[in-house]
């Protein structure tokens, strides 16, 4: 097993992107109690926007410009999130949660086709940022430097997010709203604004996941629908609404999936869903969730 | 929005008989294509009817009904491929037994929770089934799927036309219609039985229902099995009609479609899911024919529906008739 360091790095890479997607999903659920079925499609949209910007619009630009353009996908997705919340979700807070689920399912259907409409049915890639960085040798195996960068960035985002939620005033407001929306509102918190910001931030993270992964793998139709279901597994394991949970869940899923693909490829996906179902049965609030 | 509790059997028949007559005459009036389209609609109606026993009557939103639909279809395909069975009746029996066994196990797991946890659990379990169908391609044909030939009906008692279109638009249409009528009647009896009343009591107030002596979890589990069984029957009927079964019908967006069409019809009424399934079937077929971007169209319809008409077609119709009647009374 001379390949084990590579497997470890690959699972960290996978965990890093998964954390970005699932962390956003969990943040939105934690603050607003909304399960955003369109979250995977927002991740895909981030990948498409970045791939299109880097690969086609600024194709010949110097490397530094391309790296600076990477977050464009995340910013666009964050802005779209800021538009979705007040128009589509806000009218539904008084209604049963089934309706919120359905509206986000509607957004999913629309986004999937908008991507097909704008970028066509073929995958689009933007591999220059990946190629420029070359690779390093670990225990006799080559590993791309860009992948290492994504791993590092994933953990930097996790730390920043933690600091943001637990060490800033906005984080206090966010947590207060999450715990008791009415009490926060009575204390003078502008809940409407917090909801827009939380939703946009969650969407931004999904878009960032897509933007960072697209130099490694092309943006394809259907990637969002696949990503959402894995992100669900992550948040279910970690606990809906918990950021620490999303991080641990992403690491668990990352390792299980990388192990699974090498050791038991036929049932690697089934194993993930079974783990999620088992966690729900034993601890319905997840490993880190609150009741 | 409780389902019309005071509906008498006679009044329901007054609505049902004209609809059945129209459906019986359909193959003589419209093109074979339209008849086949209606078969798809009726099949989805059986699935939606089962789904709505959970959503409308028990208050549980399942996001995993694709599993039971797909299971029904795949059991038919397996019976053809591995047992060389072609009898439609054996398909129904075998598929129903298999679906009920799986729903019994999944049900025990899922009914421990309600609300969003129930939705996610059902979804996770349906994804287990999907990933198995997707990965074990040497058994299930993977994404290529499995083919299902024309079945024999009533052990050859009914001569089956050689022409596939003639078979599907006539013999098989009536077969589907009869099964549909039987299952609608069955569901009507179930929701109006003491058991059906108990489910509605659970939906409205779980604690109160428990104090009245309803064994809540057991009732939910039985409702889960009936619901999955109905959806499984729909999958069984769907398999020969479609002629091919692929993992797409097991993937989670298909569960979303079942939720969609039930809400479209209105999950607060008995007939809502039936109307929703038939309407959705036409909507989807024409949207697919009209544009490649049919998902865009359907997504927009869904959002407008949820924001503007949350009670669906039947709920809105009901409200309109109430308004008209109210004005006449003045």
In chain A, count of helices (H) and strands (E)?
13, 2
pLDDT of res. B297: 84
Alpha-carbon gap, residue B283 to A166, rounded angstroms: 49
pLDDT of res. B8: 67
B-chain CB neighbours of A267 within 8 Å are: 131-132, 135
pLDDT digits (tens, 9 = 90+) for B106-150: 888 888 887 888 888 888 888 888 888 887 777 777 777 788 887
Taking one residue from A and the other from B, the number of pairs with CB-CB distance under 8 angstroms is: 119
Contact B310 A99 (CB under 8 A): yes
> Are A199 and A32 spatial neighbours (Cβ–Cβ below 8 Å)?
yes
Which is it for strands B244-245 and B146-147: parallel, antiparallel or unpaired?
antiparallel
Angle at B75 between CA B70 and CA B78, to 5 degrees: 125
Chain B contact probe: residue of A92, A99, A113 with most B CBs at under 10 A:
A113
Separation in Å, CA B157 to CA B85, B153, B168, B171: 16, 7, 17, 12
Q: How sure is the predictor about B4, in pLDDT bands with cuts at 50, 70 and 90?
A: very low
Q: What is the mean pLDDT of residues B261-285?
A: 87
Give CA B240 to chain center in angstroms: 16
Task: Tell me which of B105-119, B212-226, B268-282 is least confident.
Answer: B105-119
Nearest-CA residue of chain A relative to B61? A98
Cβ-nearest to A113 among B112, B132, B295:
B295
Contact B300 A265 (CB under 8 A): no
DSSP of B283-302: HHHHHHHH-S-HHHHHHHHH
Alpha-carbon gap, residue B121 to A15, rounded angstroms: 22
Alpha-carbon gap, residue B163 to B323, rounded angstroms: 50
Separation in Å, CA A76 to CA A48, A206, B203: 11, 11, 42
The token pair at A207 is 């878009």
Q: Output the furthest CA–CA distance in chain B (Å, rounded).
A: 69
pLDDT for B258 beyond 60: yes
**What is the residue-averaged pLDDT of chain A?**
85
pLDDT for A79 beyond 90: yes
User: How many beta carbons lie within 10 A of that of residue B197, not counting itself?
Assistant: 15
Alpha-carbon gap, residue A266 to B312, rounded angstroms: 42
The token pair at A108 is 């999913």
Alpha-carbon gap, residue A129 to A215, rounded angstroms: 6
Question: Positive or negative CA dihedral for A246, A247, A252, A257?
Answer: positive
pLDDT for A36 beyond 70: yes
Task: Tell me which of A230-234, B16-20, B152-156 is least confident.
Answer: B152-156
Separation in Å, CA B153 to CA A127, A173, A242, B161: 57, 66, 55, 11
Classify the phi-psi angles of A174: left when phi > 0, otherwise alpha if psi is within -120 to 50, otherwise beta. alpha
Separation in Å, CA A21 to CA A26, A227, B118, B282: 9, 8, 22, 36
pLDDT of res. A45: 94
Contact A113 B307 (CB under 8 A): no
Q: What is the mean pLDDT of residues A100-116?
A: 89
Cβ-nearest to A270 among B132, B263, B299:
B132
Closest CA to B139 of B213, B91, B75, B203: B75
Alpha-carbon gap, residue A7 to A1, rounded angstroms: 10
List the beta bridge partners of residue A11. Answer: none
**Is B61 at the interface with chain A, CB within 8 A?**
yes
Contact A280 B121 (CB under 8 A): yes
**Is B288 at the interface with chain A, CB within 8 A?**
no
Cβ-nearest to B300 among A110, A268, A274:
A110
Chain B contact probe: residue of A104, A108, A229, A278 with most B CBs at under 10 A:
A229
Classify the phi-psi angles of B150: left when phi > 0, otherwise alpha if psi is within -120 to 50, otherwise beta. beta
pLDDT digits (tens, 9 = 90+) for A38-78: 999 999 999 999 988 887 777 677 777 778 788 888 999 99
Contact B109 A236 (CB under 8 A): no
pLDDT digits (tens, 9 = 90+) for A195-253: 899 999 999 999 999 998 888 888 888 888 888 888 988 988 888 888 888 899 999 99
Alpha-carbon gap, residue A129 to A55, rounded angstroms: 10
pLDDT of res. B327: 61
Q: What is the mean pLDDT of residues B183-210?
A: 89
pLDDT for A189 beyond 90: no
């Amino acid at each position: 097993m001379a390949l084990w360091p590579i497997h470890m790095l690959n699972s960290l890479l996978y965990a890093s992107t998964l954390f970005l997607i699932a962390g956003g999903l969990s943040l939105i659920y934690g603050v607003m109690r909304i399960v955003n079925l369109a979250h995977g499609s927002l991740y895909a949209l981030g990948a498409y926007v970045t791939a299109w910007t880097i690969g086609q619009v600024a194709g010949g630009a110097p490397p530094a410009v391309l790296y600076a353009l990477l977050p464009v996908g995340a910013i666009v997705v964050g802005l779209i999130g800021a538009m979705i919340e007040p128009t589509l979700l806000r009218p539904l807070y008084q209604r049963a949660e089934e309706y919120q689920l359905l509206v986000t399912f509607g957004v999913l259907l629309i986004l999937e086709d908008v991507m097909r409409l704008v970028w066509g049915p073929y995958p689009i890639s933007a591999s220059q940022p990946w190629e420029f960085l070359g690779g390093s040798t670990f225990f006799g195996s080559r590993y791309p430097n860009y992948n290492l960068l994504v791993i590092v960035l994933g953990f930097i985002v996790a730390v920043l997010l933690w600091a943001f939620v637990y060490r800033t005033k906005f984080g206090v407001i966010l947590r207060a709203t999450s715990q008791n929306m009415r009490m926060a509102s009575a204390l003078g918190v502008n809940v409407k604004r917090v909801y827009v910001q939380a939703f946009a931030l969650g969407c931004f993270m999904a878009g960032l996941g897509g933007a960072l992964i697209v130099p490694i793998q092309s943006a394809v139709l259907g990637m969002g629908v696949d990503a959402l279901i894995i992100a669900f597994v992550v948040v279910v394991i970690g606990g809906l609404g918990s950021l620490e949970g999303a991080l641990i869940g992403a690491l668990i899923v990352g390792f299980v999936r990388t192990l699974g693909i090498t050791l038991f490829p036929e049932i690697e996906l089934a194993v993930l869903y079974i783990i999620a179902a088992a966690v729900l049965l034993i601890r319905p609030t997840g490993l880190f969730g609150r009741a | 929005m409780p389902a019309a509790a005071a509906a008498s059997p006679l009044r329901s028949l007054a609505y049902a008989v004209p609809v059945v007559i129209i459906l019986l005459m359909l193959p003589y009036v419209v093109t074979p294509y339209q008849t086949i389209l209606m078969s798809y609609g009726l099949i989805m109606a059986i699935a939606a009817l089962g789904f709505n026993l959970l959503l409308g009557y028990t208050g549980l939103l399942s996001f995993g009904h694709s599993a039971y639909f797909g299971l029904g279809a795949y059991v038919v395909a397996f019976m053809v491929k591995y047992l060389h069975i072609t009898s439609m009746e054996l398909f129904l029996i075998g598929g129903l037994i298999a679906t009920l066994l799986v729903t019994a196990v999944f049900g025990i797991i899922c009914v421990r929770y309600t609300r969003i946890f129930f939705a996610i659990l059902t979804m996770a379990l349906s994804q287990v089934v999907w990933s198995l169908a997707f990965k074990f391609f040497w058994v299930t044909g993977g994404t290529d799927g499995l083919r299902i030939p024309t079945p024999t009906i009533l052990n050859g008692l009914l001569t089956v036309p050689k022409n596939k279109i003639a078979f599907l638009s006539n013999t098989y249409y009536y077969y589907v219609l009869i099964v549909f009528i039987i299952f609608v009647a069955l569901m009507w009896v179930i929701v109006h039985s003491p058991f059906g009343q108990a489910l509605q009591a659970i939906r409205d107030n779980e604690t109160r229902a428990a104090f009245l002596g309803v064994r809540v979890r057991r009732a939910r589990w039985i409702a889960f099995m009936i619901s999955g069984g109905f959806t499984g029957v729909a999958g069984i009927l769907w398999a020969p009609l479609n002629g091919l079964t692929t993992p797409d019908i097991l993937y989670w967006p298909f569960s979303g479609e079942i939720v969609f069409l039930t809400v479209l019809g209105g999950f607060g009424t008995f007939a809502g899911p039936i109307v929703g399934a038939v309407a959705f079937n036409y909507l989807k077929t024409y949207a697919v024919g009209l544009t490649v971007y049919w998902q865009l169209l359907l997504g927009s319809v869904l959002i407008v529906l949820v924001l503007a008409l949350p009670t669906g077609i039947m709920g809105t119709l009901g409200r309109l008739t109430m308004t008209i009647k109210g004005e006449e009374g003045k």
